Structure 1
Amino acid sequence: MADLTPHSRQPSELELPSEPDRSVVAPRFYPRFEASPPIDPFERLDLSSVFAAVWQARFRIVGSAILFGVWVWLLAGLLTPRYEAMAFLRIDGDGFDALSEGRRDPNRFVDPVVLSTRVQSIKSAAVLGAALDAAGIAYSAEFNEGLARTAEDRRKDQASNARQMSETEKQASLLTEFAKRVDVWQIEQSGVAAIKVKANDPILAARAANAIGDSYIAQQIQEKRKTRLQALDALLAQQNEMTRKLRGIEDSIASVRADRKLVFTEAQDIRGQVLGKTRELLIAAEADLAEVERKRIVIEQARDGGVESLSLVTFSDLIQKLKEQRAVLSVELGQLASETGPSHPRYQAVVSGIAKLDRAIDEELKRVGASVRTTERGLRDRVQTLSKRLAELNSEVTDQATSRVHLDSLETEVQGLRYSRESLKNEIDKLKTALGLEQSEANFVSRALPPEKPSFPRRSLIAAGGTVAWGGFFAFAVGVAALWNRQVRSPADTAAFETIVHCPVVGALPAAGRRFAITARQLPLEFAEGLKRIAEAIRLGPVGPVSIVISSLKQGDGGTTAAVALARLSGQAGLTTVLVELDARRRITELLAAQSAFGLADCAQSGVNPVAAIVPKPDLGFHVLTHGRTGDGLGTRADAALDQVFETLKALYRVVIISAPPLSQSPRAFWVGRNVDHVVVVTTADKRRADVLARFFRFFGGAVPGNVAVVFNHVDAKYHGSLL
């Protein structure tokens, strides 16, 4: 064995070991591994172990699922039952009940927008308020409990001297609680609306659903009666005004006939008739002009006043229809604002629809306004023409003729007023006859009956769902645990690992504690035993010179530690050993404090003699050739330079151990391994590492060379002795 005592001579003066006998060549410790091509790691998913684990735990899974289902079934029995009662209301009718279905007009069409508005009005505050009183909701303990909670929260938030809730606030709170239990929707595209009420009392739920339908029908009848009364009041006021005006004109005619005793000639009578006819036409034209001016003013007010003034534009059916559509979208927008918020796509779509309707209304107002202004200009021209003609007639007749014309015009006006009053009287009589005979456009298709079974909780459904959910969760947990439990624990697992990577596992090193130091005077017993088994597997002994490349699969797997430990074992066994640092990270330099002016990079790049760069470590029993201070990691050097360095070291030492960088960072271990005896890859004892290592083998050269072996590191102490 060479002298490994430290000395102060220059590196060129070191006493190198004598050249070993290289006539004896260490045989390969295993033949080339022949097997099928490796499995793609991305296609390898051991589902058989998952199914096996689930099948093995089937009794536990089924038993626990049944117990969980029973527990959920018992727990559901403690919940307060909730009943749902449903009533169906026809809202597209024309006032006829179900027995008068044959009297309906088969061609009658109801706008879907109108139907949607009616469905929304069923849940209005007025209808629900009336149903609240009719069904006796205010006296229900169920709803009063919610009201009490509201009052209690209010008392906590307010000061000690805060006022109590007023009757209006109580009614509003009760109405809010009731509205939460009511749901109304249109059944598909039909004219039938469904009213559903949820309550803890089945009788109360049915009574409330029927009360909502009755209240909606009563409200429709009341609205129709109110509309008729308003129309009747307007017609009566118009009739009184017409009667007063007629009496005034009749008095004027009598006064003219009494005060002016005039004799009219035939010519004067003709001119008077012409004058009267012209005045009659002028009056009609002025009336038409006044009506057109009124329309123009209404249109201007509508454009300036917004949507609230559109109700004045009664002469345009299209504007009224657009107004109804906008009202429907406004109601929907209010609901979406409380349910989804302004950022929701549906909310934005409704806002866009309202804007589109506003533009359509404005365009229609412009069109109607242009038409009205055109008509107004024509009527003004006609009024001016008739006025001019009337002035000409007035200039042609005498004072007597003027009086006669005036009298004729009064008589003509009286006749028109009498005819108008008679027509108005007929309309008033029709309204009085129809008053009190109003019928709703809605009627019950079927009334709500008290439900026999609660809608919530459905104990059997909840128990079945809980059983299935718990069983699925338990099976999933068992499968995931089996899938992720990939640690190598037995010789069978090791054999499976070797089948995947196509090379043997020659040793296992136990997991070292935090206080483990590779430079310590005494290595742990289990660690030393593992090193000995690895040395035996690779024929590390006096048989012949041995060159070994040691690399790790990934950083942190322990490749550097294994290289130093194996070099230490070889040196302590009396074999001349050199440890070469091929890793540019210079972990060995830091670990062993092996500082030198030259290194492997200097030998390869600058032609420095490797002997000058060797650093002896007599305390550990081997020499070290560090990487050197060059930081480029030999990435630009040709293969021949490093081969020459390694051949020089092989000629001087019996054991040459090369510490290569991890395979995940560089393939240099396989490149160097083509001219060495053994390539040892250090990795953790994890089944998943087999797929990763096989992928590296395929990437770096296809088939696995026959001198590659795997060493497990960081093996759990429980399985350390049972892997090989």
Structure 2
Amino acid sequence: MSGNQSAAADLDVDLGALFASLGRNSLRILLVGITVAGIAFLAAWFATPQYQSEARLLIETRESVFTRPNAGADSDRPILDAEGVASQVQLIGSTDILKQVAEKLGLAKLPEFDGAKVSALGRLMTAVGLQTDAGETTADERVLKKVREKLSVYNVENSRVIVIQFSSQDPRLAAEVPNAIADAYIAMQGHAKLQSNTAATEWLAPEIADLSRKVKDAEAKVADYRASSDLLIGQNNAVLATQQLSEISSELSRVRASRASAEATADSVRNALNGGSSLGAIPAVLSSSLIQRLRERQVEIKSEIADLSTTLLDNHPRIRGLRAQLADLDRQIQVEAQKVLASLETEAKTAQSREDQLIAEVNKLKAASARAGEEQVELNALQRQATAQRQLLESYMTRYREAASRQDRNYLPVDARVFSRAIIPAQPYFPKIVPIVGAAFAASLLLMAVGTLLRELFSGRAMRPAPGARFADVEQVNMPVSEPETVEIPATPIIEPKPDSRTEVESEQEPAAAIVEDARQPDADATRQLENNIPLANSSLGEVNIDGAAEKLISGRARRALFVSPEGDEAAASSILVARAVADAGWRVLLLDLTASGAASRAMLDSALFPGITNLLASQAQFSDVIHSDHYSDCHVIPVGTADPVRAMRAADRLPIIMQSLATAYDLVAVECGPTDAWAIRRLADGDGTVVLVSVLEPTDAVTEAAVSLIENGYPDLILVTPVGGETPGTPIPGRSAA
């Protein structure tokens, strides 16, 4: 809600007085607590005891490491994830398992599970439609319904443990049912594995026979193609043509190396012979045994010549003979070198011939190897197909033998086991008399204490004046009534005047004498003054100024203040000033402007273009949108608004509801009604909490007629307000506080 906060609160909560009320009402609170505890004790004492027991299952792999097929690295992984364990929980509570357990234990014969006998309360609930008629369901359905009500199956968090919990009036039955459900679940799992194993063997047998034929055909195709394509296999599973090509290529390389070596050696010998250089540095010449002996003889002769030259002359026959032998040896060495050269040339020619033969053979084998390669590709494809069929056949045969052996030996381990069976409970889990009685006693004491404190707060007995607050008693003046003529007042956009004529009004209203039959004789002069249009300033009606009107509203604890301004918009200033004066006294005040021109709200908001009551009635705005703050006080204001008045008038019946809501949120709701009559303001009044005020600028005939009309139509205690002078209004009455 928009607007500034109101002034400091005029009342505080007296905590001592508030909690002292608990001591004053302690006996009543204690008696209520004891009564409730007694009722709870009787209810728990006569309640049928319920026993509860539970069995626990562990989901794990029951296969042995010695019998597990294809044991590998993934063998020890969990067989089920969280969703899989949750699925097993649903399977345990399935209808098939519960039916098996009910038939095995004969639950349909027990009164606890026979829902055909309905109590009086059950028949009443069936009659009002809160439950179905037991006679319309079968016995099995009733038993299953009772079993599900007493059964609880859940998974222990962060584990693969499943708890089967059951409660019953019979402790023996409370233990038998969980064990029977666990056994039925294990049996169902084993039966499911048996069915799966049987289905596997039945499917694998024809598949193996079909695969055997396919493998045989594939291998026959491989053999036929190898024979037709002459793809002979040599060493290392290589094609014979390819292997021969490799061998001949190696031989060709060796022959080429030998030919090149012979040609190089022959060239070196030829160059030595032609150049006259020494043949001793050529390895091929030195390798000849004859040349080696001739060279040795040359060395001997040269040694002898050297020895004889010391004693004989060069022309000595002996020396000349040795020199002749030495020359003959040189000639022999040259001859032998020529022979070596001829041998090397012959060897080179032979190697060349061999090389030419090998090249021709290599070319033939290349063509054969190319053809063999193409044929080998097709052969490899056939072999791969045959190999794949053979591997699949071997895999199927292995699985078939495993499945058949398990079926023959009846070895089908279930992936679950009962590691904790239910036992017969010795004590009932319900009712726990002491906790139930204690909780009922504590709850009743708490509720009674809270109720007592709230009653003290709402009654105002626990409130005390705030520091510095003062209170003034204002005498309430009762307005006399008379029987003047009824005049019609112009209508506002929201408060519609009564459309009847003066004659109709007089015929429907009681005579003025009947209204004042309470013998208010002291006010007769004032009535005559009104009838004779005597100026109100000199009458006994008791005009009050702004401060006096505010004090009357505060001291009278008014909830609503309805301002009637017979003199038009100028007289609306009284409602503004009174509302501000009450707000300055610490009350939360709201001024509702119902004038046609919006004179009251325009003076407080400096504009008439704010959403207001017409927007609220036309459902174009909410309370928070139409409530604004007075620019000059702590008062709040709802202007006329900007919606279509005709559309707003269609929802005028909502005005009392709006007034009630505002009166709940504010200490005082002031309504500026403008020039209207008693019939039009009735929808805004709520009995004793409403005060009617007439704004007076000058004592004119219009004011007199309006006052007389209000008096004779049920508002004898109206207050005449004039916006002239005044004193500071008093402070609020104790017991009232800001909303």
Settle same-fold status: TM greater than 0.5: no
TM tier relative to shorter chain: 0.3 to 0.5
Higher relative contact order (CA 8 A, sep 6+): 1
TM-score in terms of structure 1 length? 0.43
TM-score in terms of structure 2 length? 0.42
- State which structure, 1 or 2, has the greater radius of gyration over its C-alpha atoms: 2
